[in-house]
Amino acid sequence: MIIVLKKNATEKQVQHIVDTVRGWKLKVHVSRGTERTILGLIGDERVILGQPLDIFPGVESVLHVLKPYKLASAEGRTERTRIRLPPLRKGGRPVVLGGPEVVVMAGPCSIESRELLFALARLVKKAGGKILRAGAFKPRTSPYAFQGLGAEGLRYLAEVRAEVGIHVITEVMDPRDVDLVADVADVLQIGARNMQNFNLLKAVGQLRKPVMIKRGLANTLEELLLSAEYVLSEGNHDVLLCERGIRTFETMTRNTLDLAAVPLLQRESHLPVIVDPSHGTGHWDLVVPMARAAVAAGADGIMVEIHPRPAEALSDGSQALLPKNFIKMMTALNAVARVLGRKV
């Protein structure tokens, strides 16, 4: 941490800061320049997170040097995290996230019925998708919108997982539901609106099951990594990061998909990075080009929504791919992945 002093900071003010910092067991270097005096704090500045050094008398600004996340950071790590979902059947293959394979997660936005869920699970599996996505608990902006089937949906999910033999990811919105969801899901999803629901992050941090955290609509990548840090610091090491678009002034798309997040998160962190072009764009006809772009940018996985009759979907029909378009997309993604020496 570096403290830049005001031009007219007094010697007494400087000494007060130096004494305070030493009281925190940190060392201080004082550099006196022609226009400014600068204090460099030596030591782990995370111990003084939240100390408002900027309002000490004489201080102009405070600059952080160390990254505020530690466990999520790529620094000092030689290997990237690979998350392994054990095979569902004897002799089956595990799904590995963060490895050479680009993993496709697909399915309906919401679980609407048992039949539809089974049909889509079979479709996803057949087309090469590795994980079924489907929401039982749905966070909806309006209290009058369909809120999901809840526990009934989870039961269908457990059935489809067992019968079709496909791993599942589903969202958990409430700390009270964590155990219920963890009983069924191979990966628990923390939705964008809950990225900073810190009690929920702590609750899933207690699990020993993979957790995928979606970036919040107004959250920086640093904040996403700090939310991952919540889960990691509770002892759960299997965290996936998901870029799903941020909120900007542009109105032609539902969100602005920030694909530069993919190489950036991979540089800053060792955790696998997934991209959701369905929420990232909000329009089915933009999903396929953005999915291709995400794979080209180096994403470790893709999450998309599909529906056989989007016009009848109970949520987010506008962004759902038709099965035939999903199948075509899989071929294209595989071709792009091969350019990077990977495969879908």
Strand partners, 187: 169
Pairwise CA distance, residues 332 & 302, whole Å = 13
Cα 235 from Cα 201, distance rounded (Å):
12
Region binding a copy of itself by CB under 8 A among candidate stretches 57-65, 83-91, 112-120, 160-168:
57-65
Q: How far is the CB of 285 from a copy of itself (least distance, A)?
A: 7
User: How many residues sit close enough to a copy of itself to count as binding (CB under 8 A)?
Assistant: 108
Mention every residue, 6+ apart, whose C-beta is less than 8 A from residue 98: 80, 81, 82, 83, 240, 271, 272, 300
Q: φ and ψ at 188, to 5 degrees?
A: -95, 135
Spell out a b/e string for 151-160, using b for 16 or more CB atoms within 10 Å of the CB, else e. Answer: eebbebbeeb
Residues 123-162 that bind a copy of itself (CB under 8 A): 139-147
How many Cβ atoms from other residues are within 10 Å of residue 298's Cβ?
Answer: 17
Least separation, in Å, of the C-beta of 118 and a copy of itself?
23
Q: Which is nearer to a copy of itself, 124 or 313 (CB)?
A: 313
Contact positions with a copy of itself (CB under 8 A) in 171-210 = 173-176, 193-194, 196-199
> Are 111 and 314 in contact, with CB atoms under 8 Å apart?
no
Considering only residues 6-25, where is the footprint of a copy of itself by CB under 8 A?
A: 7, 20
Q: Which is nearer to a copy of itself, 119 or 296 (CB)?
A: 296
Using the rule CB under 8 A, is 344 a contact of a copy of itself? no
Rg for the chain, CA atoms, rounded = 23
308 binds a copy of itself (CB under 8 A): no
Cβ at position 40, least distance to a copy of itself in Å:
4
Among 54, 163, 179, 183, binds a copy of itself (CB under 8 A): 54
State in angstroms the smallest separation of the CB of 54 from a copy of itself: 5
- Which position has the token pair 């963890």? 182
Residue with Cβ nearer a copy of itself (178 or 185): 178
Which 267-306 residues touch a copy of itself, going by CB under 8 A?
267-268, 280-281, 284-286, 289-290, 292-298
**Separation in Å, CA 153 to CA 133, 160, 317:** 12, 11, 18
Burial zone of 12 (CB within 10 Å; 0-12 exposed, 13-18 middle, 19+ buried): exposed
Pick the closer one to a copy of itself by CB: 36 or 343: 36
Does position 242 interact with a copy of itself (CB under 8 A)? The reply is no
Q: Which of residues 75-114 bind a copy of itself (CB under 8 A)?
A: 75-76
Q: How far is the CB of 277 from a copy of itself (least distance, A)?
A: 8
**Using rule CB under 8 A, residue 46 touches a copy of itself:** yes
Q: Output the 3-class SS for 158-205.
A: HHHHHHHHCEEEEECCCHHHHHHHHHHCCEEEECHHHCCCHHHHHHHH
Residue 257 within binding range of a copy of itself, rule CB under 8 A: yes
CB of 34 to a copy of itself, least distance (A): 6
Q: How far apart are CA 88 and CA 77, in angstroms?
A: 31
Among 13, 51, 113, 325, binds a copy of itself (CB under 8 A): 51
